[in-house]
Chain A
Amino acid sequence: MVKSLSISNFDMKRFIIRFFIFLLFPLAFFLINLQVNRYLIATTIPNIKPNNILVVGDSHTATAINPAQLTGSINFSQNAEPYIITYYKLEHLIKGNDIQTVILGFSYHNLSAFNDLKLSKKPWAPSQFEHYYPFISLNKLRGLSVDRQLYLQTVVQNLLLYPKKNHNAGYRGGYNQRAYALDRANFKTAIDRHYFYEGEQIGTSTVSAKYLEQAVLLSEREGFKLVLVNTPLHPEYLERIPVDNRSFYKMIKKRYEGRVTILDYSDYPLDDKLFYDYDHLNSDGALIFSAMLNEDLMHLP
């Protein structure tokens, strides 16, 4: 029979009291660092001046859009960035920046369900949290599959241990120059990566569609022009995109026609030598494409 459920033992009380007293010191240290780092995050938002065109997206826009060829632009694209992250990144960057135009990568794979795995599965999750911890939280990611232990580990290591100067280095991204490597690439690798998981077709992402909508609403709220750009894709990749993904993309594209500017260069004919692999341009391809994009943007109403 269990007797009184209370800890009356002096030794136990002493243990618990001393344990919590000891914990106060590291907790205070961590809290101070947390406040300092939060301050640093808020006051070191990258300034895009004198530019007013912001390029965001994943590796497609990171490799295809050379800001030197796009007047008044800066490229903050980051590899493997899903729309949910891009939306919160835009929210974060809007503060203290006068952004007039946002060019957002908008391709078939951006709406694939593999994006839903990026916050819970390797190889994506570690780098996602490492790049974007300054402006994401478990609350913002509610309803998604998230590797909570990894997220908390990232927060502890970046916000609690010491004052860190360069919080924005991870999410800034940038233009990524690549050389020609199509002869060593495999179109199946890209298709498998974007549309299949563990051998099964993975389908489309309503979460990605939702946060694309959020980005559109943000543009309407904040008054910047949103341009959705589908960068050139090699025909070998393009013709192998699953039908479901293709249809979903077309449906979403149709939803935003008239509401935002959509520039679809996915089937623009480019020589093989302008590609890095089957879904990314190399630096030569970026030069040509960026100049063409610049021209088209200048002729927009």
Chain B
Amino acid sequence: MLFNSIDFTIFLPTVFVIYWLIGGKQRRIQNLFLLIVSYIFYGWWDWRFLFLLLTSSTVDYVVGLSISRSRSQLTRNLLLGLSLVVNLGLLGFFKYYNFFVENFTQAFTFFGTQFNPTTLNIILPVGISFYTFQTLSYTIDIFRKKIEPTKDIVAFFAFVTFFPQLVAGPIERASTLLPQFHQNRKFVYEEAKDGLRQILWGAFKKIVIADTAALVVNDVFRNHETYTTGMLLLGAFYFSFQIYGDFSGYSDIAIGTSKLFGFRLMRNFANPYFSRDIAEFWRRWHISLSTWFRDYVYIPLGGSRSHIIKAVRNVFIVFVLSAFWHGANWTFITWGILHAIFFIPLLLSNANRRFLDQPAKHNILPSLREMWQIISTFTIVLFSWIFFRAESLTQATSYISRIFAFERQPIASENLRYLPLIGILIVWEWVCREKEHGLDIDNLPVVVRWSLYFILIWLILFYFGDGQEFIYFQF
């Protein structure tokens, strides 16, 4: 079920009403209800993959309890290993089987050996990359004795399948989200109001920004050999905002929806395009994933505290794994490596934690220096997005080489018509950069607020079109 569909506009208010009719004090019944509707939500796409969800949830529930009860370190290790094997095994099979088979085949062929394995027509279950990481965080945190396992199976299953964030994050930690399933929820007017506003803001970014940009992006990438420098740069620029609008829009809808039910999810995007360097970018982009890799891969490997070579190795591993998480294609891996290459100099010069505050803090506009930092960081990110979007390394390198051919041709005005919308987004998010989201505007008079909501609703209805699926559904 897509957030931007009529089905969801009927589903959400229905679930909301029934949920609060059950009442905040009926926590267990509410959790059961959330579990049922989450399965309906997920099964709406394809009911067969509910069994995967069930398997992942069951294994980790049992493993969590078993690890906690076990006194033997060997047993604990084996149990954690079981969780890792099941979750990563499912993820690996559905997502990476064909990739490995095809690449092994090419490697064998390169060395002159004929090898004809079978590739499978595998459907990638929506959200598998997200919920497997979420359940893994549970078992790993229990193993590390950071949290205690829950005996409440309904609460745990509801935590795994919680529909607002099930298919595209944020990837929540058991330590922050699971306790909320153990507490009575109280309807708070301000939270619910803010939730609705955040949903509206997310829908605006997805439908008005991302889906319109996609119209140009799809054409430019498909026909990049016929376009010249200006149009190719425009295509990359539009894609930067397509992926931002799409993914951060989804996160906003997920977080806003959760607020309607009395839950607090983590922030997933913090104005990443205002970053002053790549390190800051990764503190602002897909925060739930980058912190997951930091806590469960980078730090256990030694982080930056080990020898300089190991620190560099750890950075590469994290960026490559993070890239690989996005998809089974060398383009993603190249994208990750590029980011690692830009990150490492900052790490080596101890400058990766330079920018921990907001740009232009307490000022209206950034300084010239900050402007330069923001633009240059955005430029690096923009070029790396070309690899992310391209279907192959060949297409990506061809795209970039055509940019630097510096051939000139006027850009048709119809391709520029979405720029004002992106301009408005940039300005508005700059103004609200210290807020949680773009409609965190309680300081404005009610007439102004309601007028803004109405304008956004109008724009959403105007641009609502050939609904592009959320990009991150494919991960």
Contacts and interface: CB of A to CB of B under 8 A. Distances in A.
B189 interface: yes
Interface string B185-211: 001110011001000000000000000
Contacts of B457: 26
B397 interface: no
Contact of A12 (B20, B25, B450, B464): B20
A2 interface: yes
A11 B191 CA distance: 10
Interface in A159-188: 160-161
B78 interface: no
Main secondary structure of the interface of A (DSSP, over half): helix
B120 interface: no
A42 interface: no
A157 B23 CA distance: 38
Which of B23, B25, B462 has the largest count of A CB atoms less than 10 A from its CB? Answer: B23
B187 A15 contact: yes
A7 B21 contact: yes
B306 interface: no
A3 B26 CA distance: 8
Given A25-B454, A153-B464, A160-B461, A15 B21 contact: no
Given A11-B188, A15-B187, A149-B6, A3 B461 contact: no
Contacts of B454: 25-26, 29
Interface string A15-28: 10011001001100
Contact of A15 (B23, B189, B453): B189
A146 to B, nearest CB: 13
Contact of A5 (B21, B192, B196, B465): B21
A157 B188 contact: no
Contacts of B196: 19
A18 to B, nearest CB: 8
Interface residues of A toward B: which range? 20 to 34
Contact of B453 (A2, A22, A149, A156): A22
Interface in A116-164: 126, 148-149, 152-153, 156-157, 160-161
Interface in B4-40: 5-6, 20-23, 25-26, 29
B466 interface: yes
B458 interface: yes
B189 A157 contact: no
A18 B196 CA distance: 12
A12 B462 CA distance: 31
B12 to A, nearest CB: 13
A43 interface: no
Interface string B435-475: 00000000000000010011001100110111000000000
A126 to B, nearest CB: 7
A157 B20 contact: no
B189 A161 contact: no
B468 to A, nearest CB: 14
A156 B207 CA distance: 15
A9 B189 CA distance: 10
A63 B85 CA distance: 64
A161 B187 contact: no
B314 to A, nearest CB: 47
Contact of A2 (B20, B22, B465): B22
Contacts of A149: 5-6
Given A9-B187, A152-B6, A126 B466 contact: yes
Nearest to B462: A161
A157 B466 contact: no
10 contacts: A7-B20, A9-B20, A11-B188, A12-B20, A15-B189, A15-B192, A25-B450, A149-B6, A157-B462, A161-B461
Q: Which 9 A-B pairs have the closest CB atoms?
A: A11-B189, A12-B187, A149-B6, A5-B21, A15-B192, A11-B187, A15-B189, A9-B187, A14-B189
Interface of B: 5-6, 20-23, 25-26, 29, 187-189, 192-193, 196, 450, 453-454, 457-458, 461-462, 464-466
Given A22-B450, A161-B462, 11 more contacts: A2-B22, A2-B26, A3-B26, A11-B188, A11-B189, A15-B189, A15-B192, A22-B453, A126-B466, A149-B6, A153-B464
